[in-house]
Structure 1
Amino acid sequence: MVQFESSVKHVPYTQERVYTKLADLNNLASVRERLDELKSKFPGKVEDLSFDQDSLTLKVQGISLTLRIIEREPMKCIKFEGDRTPLPMNLWIQVLPVSDAEAKMKVTIRAEVNAFMKAMVSKPLQEGVEKLADILALIPY
């Protein structure tokens, strides 16, 4: 089991607004509309994105990943589990208040990989968790 954490991202919105938007993935329609913009900011990374209330499927460098929400801890954390992923994994988004008008978030991925695979997947997973946090920090909540 290996774990990768993004750096802490500050967002200029309240903890409640950030959590509420992310807890129902249908609220990410605005992100879907800006997919072309994301593709240009992260070339060769995000190719496609689709979602419903509880799951998110993204295609990254030819690999399709589906993450499903398995737990919501109101205002604090949303936990996902890999549904159709190349390796067993969990992802969670933590949201904490900084002030009345600002929150901070961190994305964590925990994946089951053997020692041989660890060398191959460590860099892409660390980059992926950081890029996901960057994208989440850019969302207008």
Structure 2
Amino acid sequence: MVQFESTVKHIPYSQERVYNKLSDLSNLESVRDRLDMMKDKFGGKIEDLSFDRDSLTLKVQGINLTLRIIEREPMKCVKFEGDKTPVPLNLWIQILPVTEAEAKIKVTIRAEVNMFMKAMISKPLQEGVERLADMLAMIPY
């Protein structure tokens, strides 16, 4: 089991607004244009992105990855589980209040991999968790 954590990102919106947006993935429709810009920033590695209320599917370098929400802890955390991902993984987004109008988030990924796989995926997963946190910090909530 390996775990990767993003740095903490500050968001100029309340904890409640951030949670409400991220706990229902269909809310991301309003930021689809921005997500397309982010795809460019990732150097074309993200080829496709689709989502509904409870799941998010992205195609990265020809591999489809689906993350499904498995738990919602109101205002604090949204937990995801990989669905048919190449390695078993969980991802969660923690949301903490800073002030009435500001929150901070941290993204964590935990994956079940052997030592050989760990050496191969450590760098991409650490970069991925950091980029995801950056992307979440840019969304207008």
TM superposition score normalised by structure 2: 0.96
Query: Which residue in 1 is equivalent to 2:140?
Result: 140
Backbone CA RMSD of aligned residues: 0.9
Residue equivalent to 2:124: 124
1:77 paired with 2:77, answer: yes
Give the Å deviation of 1:105: 0.0
Contiguous gaps of at least 5 residues in structure 2 = none
The farther-off stretch of 34-43 and 127-136 is 34-43
Residue 34 of structure 1 aligns to a residue whose secondary structure is helix
Alignment gaps of 5+ in structure 1: none
Q: TM-score, normalised by structure 1?
A: 0.96
Moved over 4 A (4+): none
Per-residue CA deviation, residues 91-114 of structure 1 (Å, 9 max, x unaligned), is 000000000110000000000000
Q: In the alignment, which residue of structure 2 is the partner of 1:53?
A: 53
* Structure 1 residues 57 and 121: CA distance shift in structure 2, 3 A: same
AA at the equivalent of 1:69: I
8 Å contact from structure 1 (residues 32, 50) kept in 2: no
Q: How many residues are matched?
A: 141
Letter in 2 for 1:134: D
Distance 1:35 1:77 in 2: 22
1:95 and 2:100 are equivalent in the alignment: no
Q: Report how far residue 127 of structure 1 moved.
A: 0.4
**What CA deviation, in whole Å up to 9, does each residue of 1:5-52 have, x standing for no partner?**
000000000000000000000000023233331122221322211001
Q: State the alpha-carbon separation in 1 of the partners of residues 73 and 35 from structure 2.
A: 28
Query: Percent sequence identity over matched residues?
Result: 80
Q: Which amino acid aligns with 1:78?
A: V
Match of residue 86 from structure 2: 86
